[in-house]
Amino acid sequence: MAEKLREYGIETLIKHAEDNDITQLEQGYELLAEGVDLLVIAAVNGNTIAPLVRDARSQGVKVIAYNRLINNSDYDMFVTGDNEEIARIFCEGALKAVPSGNYVVFAGDRFDKNGFEVKEHIDTMLKPHVEAGEINVIYETYIEGWNRERAAFEFQEVLDSHGLVVDAVISCNDPMGLGTVDVLNQYGIAGNVFVTGQDAILEAVRSIEDGEMNLTVYHPHRELGYKTGDLIAKILRENEDPEELANAETFNGTESIPTFRVKSMGINRENLGTLVDLGEYSWEEIRN
């Protein structure tokens, strides 16, 4: 995104909150004090960040939510992946590898609309297979904070209750998938259970290369970032209406937010080289 904005001559300040919503709120107000014209927020918490959004808008600062919906406030635009497409990638990958058997579903944080929406789509796509008696969902839950350790704890509880009978785990992000693999490794059976993730972080990609995790959903970061940069330039420089730039809309609890959705792709061991071709990682990084 910063690369694209530099092409437009737009100065970019980047702050990382290290997954702390209080820190992110403080950083946002620091940026407002510096006189920024637009905030792009990848919200740690879509609820607690809302006061910053309202204050930014009251000062005439435009706001774009990036990949995580901000709830209960009005702002200019939401740029994200397609949650139905993400669920389809999960389900098609799992059903191809494990057309019948016992499934576990680890959805994201229940208070993150992305987590809730992806879970709804997964439920819809698995329903006919469950009704046909092919798939048995023995456990499903939301994982607070999309957290690796919490997912590992939940998965250990599943194994303690049901035994080693799980055939597939649809985990909705890479840390939760890796938490599942952590537990499977304790039993020496990582690779025997189909495990998904999302975001194609390097550790997950290495896990897929090693045959432990099986699938991650990759959001083409360069495409998403460049597209966001283009949208920012049109909104700031050309004063274009976000509604005219959107290809969807998303209700966030109080408002329908103009939304631009970017398609994602499934990455498995067979097409891992796609990430190398796209410049995301090198083979040396993956196999290190």
Report domain extents, the chain. Answer: 2-75+221-262, 83-219+266-287
The residue ranges of DSSP E strands in 130-185, in sequence order, are: 135-142, 168-171
SS3 191: coil
Q: Is the pTM of this model over 0.75?
A: yes
CATH dotted code for 2-75+221-262: 3.40.50.2300
Which pLDDT does position 68 carry in this prediction?
87
Lowest mean pLDDT among 36-45, 108-117, 126-135: 108-117
Residues 189-216: pLDDT tens digits? 999 999 999 999 999 999 999 999 999 9
Residues 178-192: pLDDT tens digits? 999 999 999 999 999
CA distance 56 to 61: 5
Q: How confident is the model at residue 219 (pLDDT cuts 50, 70, 90)?
A: confident
Phi, psi of 86 (to 5 degrees): -60, -45
Which pLDDT does position 113 carry in this prediction?
80
pLDDT reading at 16 higher than 90: yes
Nearest to 65 by CA among 36, 42, 47, 38: 42
Kindly indicate whether the domain formed by 83-219+266-287 is annotated with CATH number 3.40.50.2300.
yes
